[in-house]
């Protein structure tokens, strides 16, 4: 398995100069970060030349602090039993990349989801504007700067009686003489 992974890394690096690999995951997993211009080429290469014929998932990570959105493509090789992650970063305010559903037809569905939930635009994507949400008028809801609680507060009625829900963690810790670790304090309300 190790040699196989090394050979895959070697082939990808030889063909795509901008690919940065990570190989510290578990056994059957590889990871490449590339520029967004390289994405169609590397996915075509993985599918047609290297046997990564199965598209497992297309996902998105919101790196709010860096001002970037990272789109992650996960492909799987049934013959080698290896999973390859291909990542690319897009500008958060101008998240545009090429439509890729000619490589895998089912990519169309993932692209519609990313367009609706993260606001990633795919140029040339032919699909109805709405995917899961109906009549949605707010910002893309899966972006981290979308404040779900504030939106719900504004849009829906709330039954009174939940406002006094207190964070009881500290009082319980005091009572039991328990120490709250520093990392946990950050998350208490």
Partner 1 sequence: MMNDKNSQKIVDIIQNWARKHSIWVLAYGTGCGAIEIPPTMTSRYDAERLGVRGAATPRQADVLLITGYLTVKTMKRVIRVYEQMQDPKYVIGFGSCTINGGMYYDSYNTIKVLDKYLPVDVYINGCMPRPEAVLSGFAQLQKRIAEGRANGAQQYKDNLEWYRANQKKIIPNWIMPDYNW
From 16-24, 55-63, 106-114, 149-157, give the range in contact with partner 1 by CB under 8 A.
Answer: 149-157
CB of 155 to partner 1, least distance (A): 7
Paired residues of 85 in beta bridges: 31, 74
Other residues' Cβ atoms within 10 Å of the Cβ of residue 78: 10
Task: Out of 56, 148, 171, 188, name the contact with partner 1 by CB under 8 A.
Answer: 148
Distance CA 84, CA 113 (A): 21
From 70-78, 136-144, 167-175, 177-185, give the range in contact with partner 1 by CB under 8 A.
Answer: 136-144
Paired residues of 30 in beta bridges: 84
Q: Between the CA of residue 50 and those of 9, 84, 176, what are the distances in Å?
A: 11, 11, 59
Q: Is 188 in the site for partner 1 (CB under 8 A)?
A: no
CB of 113 to partner 1, least distance (A): 14
One-character DSSP codes across 147-162: -HHHHHHHHS---TT-
CB of 150 to partner 1, least distance (A): 9
Query: Which residues ranging from 151 to 180 are in contact with partner 1 (CB under 8 A)?
Result: 151-152, 155-159, 161-162
CB of 154 to partner 1, least distance (A): 10
């Amino acid at each position: 398995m190790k040699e196989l992974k090394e050979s895959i890394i070697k082939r990808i690096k030889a063909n795509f100069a901008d690919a940065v690999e990570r190989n510290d995951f578990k056994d059957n997993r590889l990871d490449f970060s590339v520029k967004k211009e390289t994405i169609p080429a590397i996915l075509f290469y993985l599918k047609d030349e290297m046997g990564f014929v199965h598209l497992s998932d297309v996902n998105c990570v919101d790196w709010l602090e860096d001002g970037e959105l990272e789109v992650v493509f996960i492909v799987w090789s049934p013959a080698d039993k290896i999973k390859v992650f291909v990542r690319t970063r897009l500008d958060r305010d101008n998240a545009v990349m090429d439509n890729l559903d000619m490589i895998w037809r089912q990519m169309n569905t993932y692209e519609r989801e990313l367009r609706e939930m993260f606001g990633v635009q795919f140029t040339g994507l032919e699909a109805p504007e709405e995917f899961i949400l109906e009549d949605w008028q707010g910002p893309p809801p899966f972006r981290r700067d979308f404040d779900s609680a504030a939106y719900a507060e504004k849009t829906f009625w709330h039954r009174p009686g939940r406002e006094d829900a207190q964070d009881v963690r500290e009082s319980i810790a005091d009572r039991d003489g328990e120490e709250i670790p520093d990392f946990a304090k950050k998350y208490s309300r």
